[in-house]
Structure 1
Amino acid sequence: MPLHKVININSSTTIFLWKITESFEDLFDEVQLKDINLIRLNTMKSELHQRGFLSVRKLLSHCGYTDFDLIYDQSGKPYLEDGKHISISHSHEFSTIVLSDQNIGIDLELVKEKVLRIAPRFMDISHLDNLSEQDQMKKATIIWGIKEAVFKLKNEVGISFTDHIFEDPFLLSDKKGTAKLRFNEGVEQFTIVFEEIENYMLVCALKDE
């Protein structure tokens, strides 16, 4: 399937979303991989993960890049050779990348019942008060995504979802919010943008200047 959706966050930040309907073989035939990433692909045990990995390369191609333009630092954070910032996520049927002139983080999560069981481990569960069970699942998934996106943006050892990343109150209808990182005796502020895509939550974090 071609590109599923494009979301413009601001003048220099765009999200690209791919719905993965192709077979592994079709995706593999349509992309070129660096040797190191071909090895990485072949070590993946799940075909679902392999298809997500390859569909990200399809998104890169749509944006005028190839696998050869994508590099990773020692901690696994992706960069593009031309200096453009990129963040990557994939989950089950979807993959996504965001390109920006500023450092950015993105996360994509399938909404599942399990998130409510683990919610007390990573969030203030009072943020789920007065919501239906379905909306609690959606909001908890967004909050997990906020923490993932901020963590990806910062990419620093020692950051804890529970102890260091805090979402400010928001409504599901807002489609945006704010969050703080309290780490190493400093406080950083982030703008959060989120959107429901079928039964998935897409969350993007940008650092406030």
Structure 2
Amino acid sequence: MAIVYNQNIDGHSVLAIWKIEETEEELLAGLQLKQHELDIISSLNNGKRLLHWLSTRLLLRTMLNTSEYIDCQFDADGKPYLVNSDYHISLSHSYDYAAVMISKEYAVGVDIELIKHKVKTIKHKFLSDIELAQKQLGDNIDGLYVAWCAKEAIYKWHGKKGLEFKQHIHIKPFKLKKKGSLNAIVELPNGTRELSINYFKTNDGYMLGYVASPS
């Protein structure tokens, strides 16, 4: 298993990224799985979807540093959680990478994406005209991926259906860097929040955004 990034985000939260180089059999060898999980695996067939599922679970197991069975499930809104554990978790994957974020204290959200030019064709679906007028966004592919990863991380942090990227999450102007942070205004059912989201670009063309904050 190749953990290429492992960072304590604060006193309570950890983010790790794993480059997927193992086969399905090698990943399975490191997991304890019950029948409902084996049923999920059989439905995924082969290929990247299966490798992503297996790698996020094995990375989670490694981060928690346990040989015990880890029961990772999803609630009605699609948010992952650990049965019989008070850790908050967030999972993401894209092509050759899996990312996991865990926290004892805070709700968390993480998103990793392979940077592609086609993001320009969908930018109006997740960014408002006001956001697109920002010079670091517009037609800047890196900037667009920062915004996408930030909004996806916020969505996962919130963990409830109904939060719309364009309508409810607003990226404030920021200075685009290879590694940096930005603030976003989030319109939640119980009021408006301002969150700080960190991001960085990898040397091989991926963008990652993450957030840890009380829910």
TM-score (norm 2): 0.87
In structure 1, what is the equivalent of residue 111 of structure 2? 107
Which stretch shows the higher mean deviation, 13-22 or 169-178? 169-178
How far, CA to CA, are the matches of 1:5 and 1:139 in structure 2? 22
In structure 1, what is the equivalent of residue 156 of structure 2? 152
Gaps of 5+ in 1: none
Gaps of 5+ in 2: none
Secondary structure in 1 matching 2:102: strand
Letter of the structure 1 residue corresponding to residue 77 of structure 2: S
How far, CA to CA, are the matches of 1:132 and 1:188 in structure 2? 25
String of CA shifts for 1:81-123, please: whole Å, max 9, x gaps. Answer: 3201110001100001011121011111110011111112211
Q: Does 1:84 align with 2:100?
A: no
Q: Is the 8 A contact 2:200 2:207 kept in 1?
A: yes
Letter of the structure 2 residue corresponding to residue 71 of structure 1: Q
Letter of the structure 1 residue corresponding to residue 126 of structure 2: F
Instruction: Indicate which of 73, 76, 80 corresponds to 1:74.
Output: 76
How far, CA to CA, are the matches of 1:79 and 1:131 in structure 2? 33
1:132, distance to aligned residue in structure 2 (A): 10
Q: CA separation of 1:10/1:73 partners in 2, compared to 1, >3 Å: closer, same or farther?
A: same
Q: CA separation of 1:142/1:67 partners in 2, compared to 1, >3 Å: closer, same or farther?
A: farther
More helix by share: 1
1:169, distance to aligned residue in structure 2 (A): 1.2
Q: Is the 8 A contact 1:175 1:193 kept in 2?
A: yes
Please identify runs of 4+ aligned residues in structure 1 that moved more than 3 A: 130-133
How far, CA to CA, are the matches of 1:130 and 1:175 in structure 2? 13
Work out the percentage of aligned pairs sharing the same amino acid. 29
Q: CA separation of 1:90/1:132 partners in 2, compared to 1, >3 Å: closer, same or farther?
A: same
1:38, distance to aligned residue in structure 2 (A): 1.5
Q: Is the 8 A contact 1:89 1:95 kept in 2?
A: yes
How far, CA to CA, are the matches of 2:126 and 2:91 in structure 1? 22
Which stretch shows the higher mean deviation, 186-195 or 199-208? 199-208
Q: Is the 8 A contact 2:136 2:175 kept in 1?
A: no
TM-score (norm 1): 0.89
1:185, distance to aligned residue in structure 2 (A): 6.7
Taking only aligned residues, the RMSD between alpha carbons, in angstroms, comes to 2.1
Secondary structure in 1 matching 2:77: coil
1:76, distance to aligned residue in structure 2 (A): 2.1
